[in-house]
Structures are given as C-alpha cells and as structure tokens.
Amino acid sequence: MSRMSFHLYCQRIDASRNMARYYMLAIQPTLFGDTAVVRSWGRIGRRGGERTDVFGTEREAMVHFLDLARRKRRKGYRPDRGCYVIGDPI
C-alpha cells in the first residue's frame, strides 16, 4: 500500500435556495492494513454526518473515492477555492 492520504473538500452554495453544504472525502490507511474511504457532509458551519467504508485494497478504495467525487460533481458540488484533491505523504 502506498503511504499517501488523499482529501477532497467541496461545497455547494446557492443563496437563492438558502443552501450552503459541504462534502469531504478522504482515503486513509487503517490500523489493520486496510484502506478506508471516510466521508463527511452537512450544512457549512454545522456538524453533519460521517461514514467510513473499509476496503481490502487501495485500488478498491480509490475507485470508490472517484465514483463518489463524480456523483457529487454532477450534483453541483465544487472544490472550495484553494482546496483541491491533495496527496499528502503520511
């Protein structure tokens, strides 16, 4: 497994609909050698939901990460200014 951690932070803001949402995705290693896709979402400035999906391989996690990112992009979520997919060495 590579020792990289990937993060994506997106927002969907529409003042006419009083909508201000965020969606965060991350790929992280687990303590047991698996790879997890962690996502959190909600209204900006508020605590939202969180879900963690664990995968046996990094490839499966990356496919899931990209699928979720594509779906959110289609729904109108855009990366926050200055915030984009980051690959940070752990």
Give the CATH number of the domain where residue 83 resides: 2.20.140.10
Task: Write the CB contacts of 15 (distance below 8 Å, at least 6 apart in sequence).
Answer: none
CB 39 within 8 A of CB 50: yes
CB 80 within 8 A of CB 23: no
| 5-22 pLDDT, tens digit each | 689 999 999 999 999 999
Give me the number of domains the chain comprises.
1
d(CA 46, CA 3): 31
Overall pTM surpassing 0.85 (yes/no) = no
Domain extent at residue 48: 4-89
Q: Tens digit of pLDDT per residue, the chain (90 long)?
A: 455 668 999 999 999 999 999 999 999 999 999 999 999 999 999 999 999 999 999 999 999 999 999 999 999 999 886 554 445 443
pLDDT confidence of residue 49:
97
CB 21 within 8 A of CB 11: yes
